[in-house]
Structure 1
Amino acid sequence: MTGTSETRRAGGRDRDAEGRARNARPRDGLGRPLPYGADGVERAPEGVVRRPEATVAEAQALLDAGRPFHAHEVFEDAWKAGPAEERGLWRGLAQLAVGLTHAARGNVTGGTRLLRRGAEEVEEWTSATGRPRPYDLDLADITGWARELAAVVERDAEPLDAARESPRLRGRPT
Structure 2
Amino acid sequence: MAAGARDRDGTGRARNARPRDALGRPLPYGEPGEPRAPEGVVRTPAETLHEAQQLLDAGRPFHAHEVLEDAWKTGPDDERDLWRGLAQLAVGLTHAARGNTTGAATLLTRGARSLGTADAAAARHGIDGPGLVRWAARLGAAAAGGTPMDLTPPRLRR
Instruction: Give the shorter-chain TM-score range.
Output: over 0.9
* Cα distance per residue 1:142-171 (max 9 Å; x no partner): 11111111112223356x574xx2110013
Paired residues in the alignment total: 157
Partner of 2:153: 166
Partner of 1:125: 118
Q: How many Å separate the matches in 2 of 1:116 and 1:110?
A: 10
Partner residue of 1:25 out of 10, 18, 21 = 18
Structure 2 letter corresponding to 1:39: P
Partner residue of 1:147 out of 137, 144, 150 = 137
Q: How many Å separate the matches in 2 of 1:161 and 1:28?
A: 21
RMSD across aligned C-alpha pairs, in angstroms? Answer: 1.8
In structure 2, stretches of 5+ residues that fail to align are none
What is the aligned-residue identity percentage? 61
Partner of 1:16: 9
Note the C-alpha offset of 1:84. Answer: 1.1
Provide closer, same or farther for how the CA distance between residues 151 and 161 of structure 1 changes in structure 2, counting only shifts above 3 A: closer
Partner of 1:6: none
Partner of 1:84: 77
Note the C-alpha offset of 1:132. Answer: 4.7
The answer to which structure has the higher strand fraction is: 1
* Cα distance per residue 1:35-92 (max 9 Å; x no partner): 0000111111111000010000000000001111101100110011111111111011
* Cα distance per residue 1:121-145 (max 9 Å; x no partner): 101222xxx4452311111111111
1:113 partner SS: helix
Instruction: Kindly report structure 1 stretches of 4+ aligned residues shifted beyond 6 Å.
Output: none
Partner of 1:107: 100
Structure 1 letter corresponding to 2:39: E
In structure 1, stretches of 5+ residues that fail to align are 2-8
Structure 2 letter corresponding to 1:58: E
Given that 2:78 and 2:121 are in contact with CA atoms closer than 8 Å, whether structure 1 keeps it comes out as: no
Structure 1 letter corresponding to 2:112: A
Provide closer, same or farther for how the CA distance between residues 33 and 157 of structure 1 changes in structure 2, counting only shifts above 3 A: farther
TM-score normalised over the length of structure 2: 0.92
